[in-house]
Structure 1
Amino acid sequence: MNRLIGRVIMYGVFAMIGVLLWSSVSKTFFVPALWTLEMAQFCMVAYYMLGGPYSIQLGSNVRMDLFYGAWSDHRRASFDALTVFFLIFYLIILLWGGISSTAYSLGDFSGEPFSFFASLIGAFFTGGPDAALAEMGHMERSPSVWRPYLWPIKLIMVIGIFLMLLQAISELCKDVLRIRGHEI
């Protein structure tokens, strides 16, 4: 799944280039568009968050190779297995915060994001989209002049963090297999 999403999202850089190109053209020839800078930031967040798991899958992430390159495969796998635990712990905390922040941006001020999403899904299936909209409170907006809703980008971030967590677990499994002597 990360490979497919990564291959699709890598073309998202062209969307960001298009937004920034329009920003330059509109500032030069027309009235400057207020939405372009923030939309370019949103494109970059989606590009980074959804492309990161694919980057780890390919092994193209940055490493300090001062000692690591001279180590044996077994020692590298042991070190990677240890460090991926820290990554998984960090990603779990980040995912929890992302889910809470997404619930807040949809109008949940109770601090219980999972019960909010459960009631939102229940309202959608029992009463339709209108009932789900009634469950939501005042949705969070950006403080900029353009004032877009923030829940779409927060949802993309949660999906990206979840995919990164899945990829980290996959890397841990690969490292354990390498420690046991299997070829991968």
Structure 2
Amino acid sequence: MPQFLVAYVRIIEAVNIRIGRIAMYLLFVLAAILLWSVVSKAFFTPALWTQEMAQFTMVAYFVLGGAYSLILGANVRMDLLYGRWSEKKRALVDCISIFALIIFLGVVLWGGIESTIYAFEVGERSRTVWRPYMAPIKIVICSGVFLMILQSFAFLIRDIATLRGVRI
């Protein structure tokens, strides 16, 4: 395999592992937000921002951790036949099926970018009482989807290398 492809796979996986491990801590942020929600409802005036901020935090956790989840193999896979196949046959099937993932993620990214541009153009805000701007969470979603696309290409390169008998 060309050295630049090997470097691409290593760099993308290192970046996604680092971002994924940072994203794991968003669960603590989510817990703190929900704890404050409970405390403020019990002892103070209920906070208007907690429910929506918890939703935004969960979206960030889910989307930014997506590529890391792919690296760990935590995605759902039908293992009825896959587990019995040889490594090369798995790589061949993955090479074919990864295109469906890349196309899906590409469509999601395209729609996400258009939605983010719209959010900036009109100053889109949520329809709740708190009314936060929507552009920041849309940027996070697009970033996470973009990282998953980069990781999908890294998987494709790794699978092609496996088919050629090369280890990356």
Mapping for residues 39-50 of structure 1, pairs under 5 Å: 39-50=53-64
Partner of 1:178 in structure 2? 162
When normalised by structure 2's length, the TM-score is 0.88
What is residue 61 of structure 1 aligned with on the other side? Answer: 75
Does residue 155 in structure 1 map to residue 103 in structure 2? no
Query: Aligned-pair RMSD on alpha carbons?
Result: 1.0
The CA distance in 2 between the partners of 1:41 and 1:165, in whole Å, is 24
Q: Find the aligned partners of 1:65 and 1:30 in 2 and give their Cα distance.
A: 51
After superposition, give the CA deviation of every residue in 1:83-105 in whole Å (9 maximum; x if it has no partner): 10000111111111111000000
Greater relative contact order, per chain length (Cα 8 Å cut-off, separation 6+)? 2
**More displaced 10-residue stretch of structure 1: 147-156 or 28-37:** 28-37
List structure 1 runs of 4+ shifted beyond 3 angstroms.
none
Q: CA deviation at 1:62?
A: 2.0
Map 1:128-139; keep pairs closer than 5 Å.
138-139=122-123
Could you tell me which residue of structure 2 aligns to residue 146 of structure 1? 130
- The structural deviation recorded for 1:48 is 0.7
**Take 2:96 and 2:31, find their aligned partners in 1: how far apart are those partners?**
39
Matches within 5 A, 1:26-175: 26-107=40-121, 138-175=122-159
CA drift at 1:183: 2.8
- Secondary structure at the aligned position of 2:65 is classed as helix
TM-aligned CA deviation for residue 60 of structure 1: 2.1
Provide the rounded CA distance (Å) in 2 between the counterparts of 1:31 and 1:67: 56
Distance (whole Å) between structure 2 residues aligned to residue 2 and residue 181 of structure 1: 25
- In 2, Cα distance between the equivalents of 1:27 and 1:71? 55
Alignment correspondent of 1:10: 24
- Code of the residue aligned with 1:157 in structure 2: it is I
AA in 2 matched with 1:150: M
**Deviation string, structure 1 residues 116-139 (Cα, Å, up to 9, x no partner):** xxxxxxxxxxxxxxxxxxxxxx30
> Which residue is equivalent to 2:10?
none
| Structure of larger gyration radius | 1
Q: Count residues in correspondence.
A: 154
Alignment gaps of 5+ in structure 2: 1-14
Structure 1 letter corresponding to 2:125: R
The answer for the alignment partner of 1:123 in structure 2 is: none
Q: Residue 19 of structure 1 aligns with which residue?
A: 33
Any stretches of 5+ residues in structure 1 without a counterpart? Answer: 108-137
